[in-house]
Structure 1
Amino acid sequence: MFDLHCHLLPGIDDGAVDLEMSLTMARMAVDDGILVTACTPHIYPGLYENTGPAIRDAIVALQAVLDQEGIALRLVEGADVHLDHHLVRGIQSGHIPTLAGSRYLLFEPPHHVAPPRFEESLFELMAAGYIPVITHPERLSWVEQHYSTFTRAADRGVFIQITAGALTGRYGKRPKYWADRFVGEGYAHILATDAHHPRRRPPFLAEAREAAARLVGAEEAEHLVSTRPGGIIQNAAPGTLPPLPAATVRTSPGFWSRLLGSAR
């Protein structure tokens, strides 16, 4: 499996606090069946002033320790990127890393408010040749009012990443409801751990693959954790990756409303 969203680098953001924690998380990932992890620290102007060169240097250093310790995990670069007026320029300059140097970029929307010109920002990235991968929309406080914004973006070529732990209920009923809905209605492209801590937010993907299989079948579940994320690392063109499935879980709007009501 390939984990394209993980805060594994030590002491660089709100993820692993030190090398010991990074190594613990790396061992857990390998034991879970993860072969490649994208190290994706936050780039958040004014809070986490990480840069592409510094992230790459940190990855080289951590990979050397993993190899020395016999931990069979390959690291690639990335970042959990927040909206910024100079985003395209930052990518082109190398200041903001894409996933494994590909055309795909992890894009984290604000958690508590829908940003102005959100869709326009996504399509500006696409016009510049990049594919935004929206991180964890199921956990955003404004997803109820803007679910169609995300599904419309997915229909137009934006990728959607769902958190593995949300799909398995680690984050509670409400995120699980929206994770189930994105996956079950065929709008999720990949699952990723968004791991920050070995206990509170662990790097587990296998349990989410099984949860996804119950919603969309084993083949699509494998696409969510292997085929598509592996293709992203190889910089495959979007059209060469498995397409999103036709909706395989068809339920009435009343069902979803009742389920969401019980999750509140």
Structure 2
Amino acid sequence: MIDIHCHILPGVDDGPVTTEESLLMAREAVKEGIKTIIATPHHRNNKYENKKVDILKNVDKLNRLLRKENIPLEILPGQENRIFGEILEDYQKGEILTLTNSNFLFIEFPTASVPRYAERLLYDIQTEGLTPIIVHPERNKELLENPSILYNLVNNGALTQVTAASVVGYFGKSIKKFAYQLIEHNLTHFVASDAHNTINRTFKLNEAFDIIEKDFGTDYVYLFAENSENVITNNIIIKEIPYQIKRKKFLGVF
């Protein structure tokens, strides 16, 4: 199993603080059947900055430690970029890291909103030859209230990644329901852990895939698993035609 979104590097963001905590996460990942993790520390989210060169060094350091501890897990480099207007300029300067140096780039929206410039920026990213992957859209307040925004972004070429814990229900009923709707309407292409620790933000991938298999069928499990593999090999992502999520309108009594 491959996890394309995980905060496993120690001491760089709100993930593990120490190398011991990173090793605990690594052992937990192996128990889940995960063999490869893309480390995706936060970048430019108003609290943490993790530039490409630093991430590469930290990934190499953690991989050496995992080999020393005989933990059968490979860490690959990535970055979770909070959306900002100069991201392509920073990419040209060598500060922005795609997932495993592929053509896929993580983009995170603020929790409560989608910037007005998002549609244009995601288009510009694609003209650069990159494919933006919007992370955990099911946890964004504006998208939850107005899913047509996400439909338009996906219809115009962006991809999305849902968090396993959202599918399980860890973030509440409304977010779980929205995650289900994204799967049903072909508005998401990956399921990943976004794990931060082994206590309250752990992997939940096996549990999520069991639920997806039960409620949506085995084909969806294969699709999400193969797409994660395609990120690492920089291949074409499997996509189905997206559909709008219809929000019910409530009429008052006159």
**Does TM, normalized by the shorter one, top 0.5?**
yes
Question: Which residue in the other structure is 2:240 paired with?
Answer: 244
- 1:201 to partner: Cα distance: 0.4
Q: 1:52, 1:242 → 2: CA distance?
A: 28
SS in 2 for 1:167: helix
- 1:214 to partner: Cα distance: 2.7
2:107 equivalent to 1:101: no
Q: 1:215, 1:186 → 2: CA distance?
A: 15
Closer/same/farther in 2, CA of residues 110 and 46 from structure 1, 3 Å limit: closer
User: Per-residue displacement from partner, 1:131-150 (whole Å, max 9, x unpaired)?
Assistant: 11000010111123331111
Q: 1:45, 1:136 → 2: CA distance?
A: 15
Closer/same/farther in 2, CA of residues 215 and 85 from structure 1, 3 Å limit: same
Q: 1:155, 1:50 → 2: CA distance?
A: 30
TM-score (norm 2): 0.92
Which of 30-39 and 140-149 deviates more?
A: 140-149
User: Per-residue displacement from partner, 1:41-82 (whole Å, max 9, x unpaired)?
Assistant: 000164212110101100000001111111111111111101
Aligned 8 A contact 1:26 1:73 in 2 = yes
- 1:190 to partner: Cα distance: 0.2
Gaps (5+ residues) in structure 1?
259-264
TM-score (norm 1): 0.89
SS in 2 for 1:191: strand
Aligned 8 A contact 1:7 1:194 in 2 = yes
SS in 2 for 1:119: helix
Amino acid at match of 2:213: A
Q: 2:146, 2:87 → 1: CA distance?
A: 23
Q: 1:68, 1:77 → 2: CA distance?
A: 19
Amino acid at match of 1:198: T
Identity of aligned residues (%): 30
Q: 1:155, 1:251 → 2: CA distance?
A: 13
Q: 1:80, 1:104 → 2: CA distance?
A: 11
- 1:242 to partner: Cα distance: 2.3
- 1:246 to partner: Cα distance: 7.3
Question: Which residue in the other structure is 1:232 paired with?
Answer: 231
Structure having the larger proportion of residues in helix: 1
Question: Which residue in the other structure is 2:215 paired with?
Answer: 215
2:110 equivalent to 1:110: yes
User: Per-residue displacement from partner, 1:187-209 (whole Å, max 9, x unpaired)?
Assistant: 11000100111111002311111
Aligned 8 A contact 1:29 1:204 in 2 = no
SS in 2 for 1:142: helix
Aligned 8 A contact 1:38 1:76 in 2 = yes
- 1:156 to partner: Cα distance: 2.2
- 1:251 to partner: Cα distance: 9.9
Q: 2:247, 2:83 → 1: CA distance?
A: 32
Question: Which residue in the other structure is 1:187 paired with?
Answer: 187
Aligned 8 A contact 1:106 1:132 in 2 = yes
Closer/same/farther in 2, CA of residues 204 and 253 from structure 1, 3 Å limit: same
Q: 1:203, 1:145 → 2: CA distance?
A: 27
Q: 1:245, 1:117 → 2: CA distance?
A: 25
Closer/same/farther in 2, CA of residues 73 and 137 from structure 1, 3 Å limit: same
Closer/same/farther in 2, CA of residues 198 and 245 from structure 1, 3 Å limit: farther
User: Per-residue displacement from partner, 1:232-252 (whole Å, max 9, x unpaired)?
Assistant: 11111x3xx3222777xx998
Closer/same/farther in 2, CA of residues 251 and 242 from structure 1, 3 Å limit: closer
Question: Which residue in the other structure is 2:52 paired with?
Answer: 52
Amino acid at match of 1:228: N
For residues 44-193 of structure 1, the aligned pairs below 5 Å read 44=44, 46-193=46-193
Amino acid at match of 1:148: S
Q: CA RMSD in A?
A: 2.0
Closer/same/farther in 2, CA of residues 188 and 45 from structure 1, 3 Å limit: closer
Q: 1:195, 1:169 → 2: CA distance?
A: 15
